[in-house]
């Protein structure tokens, strides 16, 4: 199971009642933050999931609305007593910006490791999530992220019994170990059923839609995607600033064959995101517009 919370849904600048578009993800009691705009720690504190378990921050790019909240969040994590390392992922240029922001959050009780990526990398995220990234198209280095929770194949008790294997060996086989018993070797395939679908989500913001991104988000259970604008008439603006309007986000979800789309990163001029939601639904029916504080739980199917 994965829980996620939209700490904010605004692009460009925080507004009264709407924070910047960050998503906090919780899996196996561990936390990963996607983007970290100014003031992120405030809605996070209201959420009550705690700060100590934050093990990774995935930054899409180095615009202020996605990174300026870092000193405040690092301070909160320190204040919560974390001593284990914190991993920060981002595009080329991340180290320069994060090290600059660290000048006002210098004394931390935990090490901070920074990883600069170009797209195509794979890495582990807290809570046993498999992370990956792809290059986005925003005019500066920008990454889209994907996180997947794999699911073990079903353990078939009757097969284990038929092999005469004592119960104490079952769990090791279920978790992929080869074991020796009674002078014989047993491999997981002897007691496991078909592979089962895990849970996957993609976080795509501050980019034009591209074939690379729809391939990257293929078949995700949830696509979280920017909708900076809500009107096709804004296409010239979207092109100029390398963003999307709602129908483009929906087109990306459709091309990716995603199962569900949630829109976020709304321009400050969008007072009511329900118009973006209605527009996107004409292209991709299972769309909703995020509101600040929205919590979504993804379960194994
Ligand atoms: Zn932005
Ligand atoms: Zn940006």
Q: pLDDT at position 125, please?
A: 98
Mean pLDDT of the region 75-90: 98
Active site residues: 65
CA of 288 to the centre of ligand 1 (A): 19
CA of 104 to the centre of ligand 2 (A): 23
| pLDDT tier at 175, thresholds 50, 70, 90 | confident
Please tell me the number of the ligand nearest to residue 66's CA: 1
pTM of this prediction?
Answer: 0.93
Q: pLDDT at position 236, please?
A: 95
Q: pLDDT at position 32, please?
A: 98
Q: pLDDT at position 253, please?
A: 98
Q: pLDDT at position 152, please?
A: 85
Q: What is the 3-state secondary structure (H, E, C) of 200-267?
A: EEEEECCCCCCHHHHHHCCCCCEEEEECCECCHHHHHHHHHHCCCEHHHHHHHHHHHCCCCEEEECEC
Alpha-carbon distance 18 to 22, whole Å?
11
Mean pLDDT of the region 50-72: 98
Other CB atoms within 10 A of residue 231 CB: 15
| pLDDT tier at 6, thresholds 50, 70, 90 | very high
Q: Is 176 a residue whose pLDDT tops 90? A: no
> How confident is the model over 253-276, as pLDDT tens digits?
999 999 999 999 999 999 999 999
Mean residue pLDDT across the chain:
96
CA of 19 to the centre of ligand 1 (A): 12
Q: pLDDT at position 153, please?
A: 87
Q: Is 210 a residue whose pLDDT tops 90? A: yes
The CA-CA-CA angle for residues 113, 118, 119, to 5°, reads 105
CA of 36 to the centre of ligand 1 (A): 11
Q: pLDDT at position 88, please?
A: 98
Q: pLDDT at position 117, please?
A: 98
CA of 37 to the centre of ligand 1 (A): 9
CA of 125 to the centre of ligand 1 (A): 23
Mean pLDDT of the region 116-132: 98
């Amino acid at each position: 199971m994965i829980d996620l919370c939209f700490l904010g849904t605004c692009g460009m600048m925080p507004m009264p009642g709407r924070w910047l578009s960050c998503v906090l993800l919780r899996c196996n009691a561990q936390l990963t933050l996607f983007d970290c705009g100014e003031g992120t720690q405030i809605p996070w504190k209201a959420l009550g999931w705690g700060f100590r378990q934050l093990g990774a921050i995935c930054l899409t790019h180095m615009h202020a609305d996605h990174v300026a909240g870092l000193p405040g969040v690092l301070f909160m994590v320190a204040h919560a007593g974390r001593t284990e390392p914190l991993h920060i992922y981002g595009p080329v240029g991340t180290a320069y910006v994060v090290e600059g922001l660290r000048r006002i959050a210098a004394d931390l009780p935990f090490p901070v490791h920074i990883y600069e990526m170009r797209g195509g990398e794979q890495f582990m995220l807290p809570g046993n999530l498999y992370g990956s990234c792809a290059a986005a198209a925003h005019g500066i280095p920008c990454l889209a992220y994907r996180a997947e929770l794999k699911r073990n194949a079903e353990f078939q008790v009757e097969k284990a019994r038929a092999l005469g294997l004592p119960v104490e060996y079952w769990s090791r086989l279920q978790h992929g170990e080869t074991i020796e018993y009674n002078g014989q070797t047993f491999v997981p395939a002897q007691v496991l059923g078909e592979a089962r679908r895990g849970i996957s989500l993609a976080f795509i913001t501050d980019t034009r839609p591209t074939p690379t991104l729809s391939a990257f988000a293929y078949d995700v259970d949830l696509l979280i995607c920017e909708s900076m604008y809500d009107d096709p008439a804004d296409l010239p603006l979207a092109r100029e600033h390398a963003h999307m309007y709602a129908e483009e986000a929906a087109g990306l979800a459709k091309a990716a064959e995603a199962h569900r789309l949630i829109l976020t990163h709304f321009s400050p001029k969008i007072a009511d995101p329900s118009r973006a939601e209605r527009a996107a639904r004409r292209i991709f029916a299972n769309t909703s517009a995020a509101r600040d504080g929205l919590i979504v739980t993804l379960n194994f199917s």
